[in-house]
Structure 1
Amino acid sequence: MVYIKDILLATIAISGVLATPVVKRDTATPAASVSYAIPSYLTPVRPAPNPSYYVWPANNTDFVVESLEDFGKQEDPDNPLTIYRDGGGSCNIGNRTIWFFCDTLGYDNGTFKAMTDNSLSVAQSFDEPSLLADATSNSLYSYGWQPAVPYTSEEYPWRNWPSQRFMLWTYTNCFQTTDTQAVQFFHVFKSNSYTSTSNWGNTMAILNLDPNTNTLTISRNEQVTFPNTTYSYGSFASMVVNGVAFLYALDNTYSGGKDVHVARVATWQVTQYNKYQYYDASTKTWSYTQPQPTARRQSAAVMSNWIPYSTGSMFYSEYHNAYLLIYFDNWADSTFKVSYAPSPVGPWTCVM
């Protein structure tokens, strides 16, 4: 049986994206950084299991859903505006549970007041997962709200152009590098018009929490981390095993989101891109050479499905003694599915 305490949010991944020139990386200084005073709500953190890289045999593989509980709409009861949020993912850092959301809109008695392409909230209670404290969508600015993840100098001038804005969206959870630092990947989209959107790749947001002052700093070392000429590692799912971060990416360009590829890096080297290794399932080998695909590489993928993937959450389950992927398919049927594997690179078995 599957026991799920966390809320899983999903959104249909954007399609029909257009090619865009790659932005060169420069990690000498952050391309953007912002600090927030966040509420000091603490949520209990269960000690993370420490599994081996390979675990077997799997247990309790019947995988039936025993029950469902509706926690209701996630909202801040003290926010004077009515908030509508799209997509999102959560992040545990320093005994705080942080939620990132994609497009966030605020209304006052039915009148539109503000919007931003991403926002940040803090969970107030572990026992009431829908209870939030909005950290970045509770104050009005002359042009609306500031996004939780800061714009770079290339993106900032477009903030007032709804039809030509940059959009930083996340569909998955973060992973921790230390007790007070975590990494969250965001897709970088550029709206060229109301009907045309281009995919620039993804960007790494580095979260640093000062637990003494309840200050959260979010930094981006570059506008684009993994450009659209490769896979957006970390944007589909991620997990840490024995100090190594495994970062999963969809091939939306050539497989239509049906193939999943993976990279790995030690958590303390996550910003050192020459330390990343990329997996080829056809040869079962890792390489420091980043793929630059010009066609579908289905045999190199760690997962391949006839249904497009959309959003994913990956973790080790002690109950099942297996690595689990709980994901939302990219069809508009509100269906979550489960796959399990004995290692971060598979082989993955879809069971529901």
Structure 2
Amino acid sequence: MLSFVYAVLLAASSVAAATTTTTTSAATTASTAYSSVFAVPSIFTPYVSTNPKLETSPETGASYTVKTIKGYGEMEYYASTWKIYRDGGGSCSFSNRTMWLFNDANAYTISGDVFAGAASNSMSIATSFDHPGSLKDLTISSAVGYFPATPWWGTEESQYATSPSHRYALWTYTNCVQLSSTSAAHFFLVNKFSSATSSKQYGNTMVLYSMNESTGKITVTRPMQYAFQNTSYPYGSFANVVVNGYAYLFGLDRLYSTNLDVHLAQVSTTSISDLAKYRYWNAETQAYETTLPVPTARRKAAAVIQSSIAFSTGTVFFSEYHNAFVLIYFSSYEDSTFRLIRSPSPLGPWNTTSITLYKTKVGTAYSYGGLAHPQFYQSVAGIAGKEVMLHYSYQTSSGTYPKAVTITFA
């Protein structure tokens, strides 16, 4: 029900989005770029980065056994006069703020009987590390109305926003790429609906975030409509990690391996919007290629990870506690459960014998969109990776909303 109502009433959200500033400017890979600007409150959750090396020493032997689990329930703005259903999403840290991007956001009155508005995606800010589920909504609330955090690519996408059967949806199921203390990049899937229930994924788009600390405003820019079209791998839409100034962008082979294979691209964090500077890892030759792979069949040997269980969503980060790169993920065939694999380097070799971390409680259907959020390290002094926050999408008979959990390793 919610997705249909969202499609019918999205026209109103495009009116609210007019409160942002839309501009056109030059980009390294396109002649135009679309941007939105809006205010971010000074709610600080200090970001402490790790310093991983490309090749680490052997694992420390620290346990991957989960010692404690603490649930925080629904992630929401507790002071809101609206009840907001949303799903998917990922987190981002810059300017000592922790931001959250979610997919389809549908707002109702607290009683649940009056629809207030919707947007293709939304941005919130975390109010505390002590309660990761406590958010303040920035782009969909009774105070500001409702508008998508990520701008449409001109009328080509926005013209479909008013139709219940033909619309674009920009969704993310990953965390952003940390470029600096004030900037980040984020990859969103570009979906086009031909009916209320039928859609096609056209590829992924890149979104750039830039925080102006003096004005307290964030600029959200799309420098290109597509970063990688559906004929290639959607690098960065599955997971990413930054090492020594380089972003390692993981993408699933959805077309030919049904999400069993993970492929990898690398680019300097200073050149992330310049697609000409990307390099593509070939695990078979153990070398980078400069030409974008456009596969016509499965390239299993070239993948950085080859799994026997299909991946769904995941997060790659460096755990100082384990002295290893870890991938915490949901699988496609066994959703609702967080699992972990690890490697001494983003390039592998990845130990694909998975470790079960946490089985989520299931509502009316399976849970999905599970990610880890390592920026919540700070609650365990100086041991990054011993404690990690998880979030996932929980389905009820009324709608879907994200839940927050923190696990602590033994």
TM-score, normalised by the number of residues in structure 1: 0.89
Superposed counterparts of 1:319-330, under 5 Å: 319-330=321-332
Whole-angstrom CA distance in 2 between matches of 1:333 and 1:36: 35
Shift of 1:178: 1.7
Q: Partner of 2:100 in structure 1? A: 99
SS in 2 for 1:255: coil
Shift of 1:320: 0.7
Shift of 1:332: 5.2
Extract unaligned runs of 5+ from structure 1.
1-24
Residue range with higher mean Cα deviation, 323-332 or 85-94: 323-332
1:75 lines up with 2:55 in the alignment: no
Whole-angstrom CA distance in 2 between matches of 1:162 and 1:328: 30
Q: Partner of 1:290 in structure 2? A: 292
SS in 2 for 1:247: strand
Identity of aligned residues (%): 44
SS in 1 for 2:174: coil
Q: Partner of 2:401 in structure 1? A: none
Superposed counterparts of 1:40-51, under 5 Å: 40-46=42-48, 48-51=49-52
Whole-angstrom CA distance in 1 between matches of 2:30 and 2:192: 25
| Contact 1:325–1:340 (Cα < 8 Å) also in 2 | yes
Whole-angstrom CA distance in 1 between matches of 2:261 and 2:86: 28
What amino acid maps onto 1:121 in structure 2?
S
What amino acid maps onto 1:239 in structure 2?
V
Whole-angstrom CA distance in 2 between matches of 1:61 and 1:329: 24
* Per-residue deviation, residues 39-93 of structure 1 (Å, max 9, x unmatched): 21011222x2222210121122541111111011111122211011101100001
* Per-residue deviation, residues 288-317 of structure 1 (Å, max 9, x unmatched): 100000011111111111211111111111
2:318 maps to which of 312, 316, 319: 316
SS in 2 for 1:72: strand
TM-score, normalised by the number of residues in structure 2: 0.77
SS in 2 for 1:155: helix
Q: Partner of 2:258 in structure 1? A: 256
| Contact 1:39–1:133 (Cα < 8 Å) also in 2 | no
Superposed counterparts of 1:181-192, under 5 Å: 181-192=183-194
2:127 maps to which of 124, 129, 147: 124
SS in 1 for 2:68: coil
Q: Partner of 2:167 in structure 1? A: 165
SS in 1 for 2:67: coil
2:343 maps to which of 341, 344, 352: 341
| Contact 1:207–1:218 (Cα < 8 Å) also in 2 | yes
What amino acid maps onto 1:283 in structure 2?
T
Distance 1:227 1:137, change over 3 A: same
| Contact 1:259–1:298 (Cα < 8 Å) also in 2 | yes
| Contact 2:28–2:274 (Cα < 8 Å) also in 1 | no
| Contact 1:102–1:168 (Cα < 8 Å) also in 2 | yes
Residue range with higher mean Cα deviation, 237-246 or 194-203: 194-203
Higher strand share: 2
Residue range with higher mean Cα deviation, 28-37 or 145-154: 28-37
| Contact 2:227–2:275 (Cα < 8 Å) also in 1 | no
Higher helix share: 2
Q: Partner of 1:34 in structure 2? A: 36
What amino acid maps onto 1:64 in structure 2?
T
Distance 1:105 1:332, change over 3 A: farther
Whole-angstrom CA distance in 2 between matches of 1:117 and 1:41: 25
Extract unaligned runs of 5+ from structure 2.
1-26, 356-410
Shift of 1:330: 1.4
What amino acid maps onto 1:236 in structure 2?
F
| Contact 2:82–2:142 (Cα < 8 Å) also in 1 | no
Q: Partner of 2:400 in structure 1? A: none
What amino acid maps onto 2:257 in structure 1?
S
Q: Partner of 1:200 in structure 2? A: 202
What amino acid maps onto 1:288 in structure 2?
T
Whole-angstrom CA distance in 2 between matches of 1:60 and 1:157: 55
Shift of 1:26: 7.6
Calculate the aligned-residue CA RMSD, in Å.
Answer: 1.6
